[in-house]
Amino acid sequence: MSYIMVDIEADGPIPGDYSMICFGAVLVEPGLSKTYYGQIRPISEKWIPEALAVSGFSRGETLAFGEPVAVMEAFRSWLKEHSTGNPMFISDNNGFDWQFVNWYFHHFTGANPFGFSSTNLGSLYKGLAKDMRQNFKHLRRTRHSHHPVDDAKGNAEAMLTLVEQHGLKIRL
């Protein structure tokens, strides 16, 4: 099983009514050299300017992004090329990130290569620390910039620290 750290940016709170604008993925392994970045044109006329602003793109810029089917198929191919066994989706906020990736895969390609499960990095850290008030974000080395590859990479760095320094057992 391969762990894939994912981060997304969207122009609203839910998929379908709003759009996933871009997303990044990093294969969690030493070096963090295998990354994917996708930009997807909006699928809805609805968008919240404050939500879109987080991504750093204007609505006009997003209208020139890739077609959802092509971007999700390319991501599926990347996952197949870089994953051993079934890929495991993990993110900082999987309640948000997962809903978009899962919906986009099912809606535009018919199936989600991640299956039906995801893992929340924050919850994983709280369990290792045995303290629900703890936060892993101090373990990131890459600055949280809201570019999804940077953010996924910072989260993957934190996860590797959990492996190296906190005894988290995963197969790399």
- Kind of pairing between the strands at 2-10 and 87-91: parallel
Closest by alpha carbon to 156, among 164, 42, 108? 164
> What Rg value do the Cα atoms of the chain yield, rounded?
16
**What would the pLDDT profile of 85-97 be if each residue is shown by its tens digit?**
899 999 999 999 9
Residue keyed to tokens 């996952």: 79
Q: Which of 18-22, 77-81, 135-139 has the lowest mean pLDDT?
A: 135-139
**What would the pLDDT profile of 107-165 be if each residue is shown by its tens digit?**
999 999 999 999 999 999 999 999 999 999 999 999 999 999 999 999 999 999 999 98
Provide the whole-model pTM. Answer: 0.95
Task: Give Cα 116 distance to the centre of its chain.
Answer: 15
> 149: phi > 0 → left, psi -120 to 50 → alpha, else beta; which?
alpha
**Three-class SS state of 60:** helix
The dihedral built from the CA positions of residue 126, 129, 132 and 135, taken in this order, carries a sign that is negative
Q: What is the residue extent of each domain of the chain?
A: 2-8+26-38+68-166
Residue 18 has pLDDT above 80, yes or no: yes
- Mean pLDDT for the chain? 96
Q: What angle do CA 7, 40, 58 make, to 5 degrees?
A: 90
Residue 135's CB: how many other CB atoms inside 10 A? 11
Percent of the chain with pLDDT over 90: 94
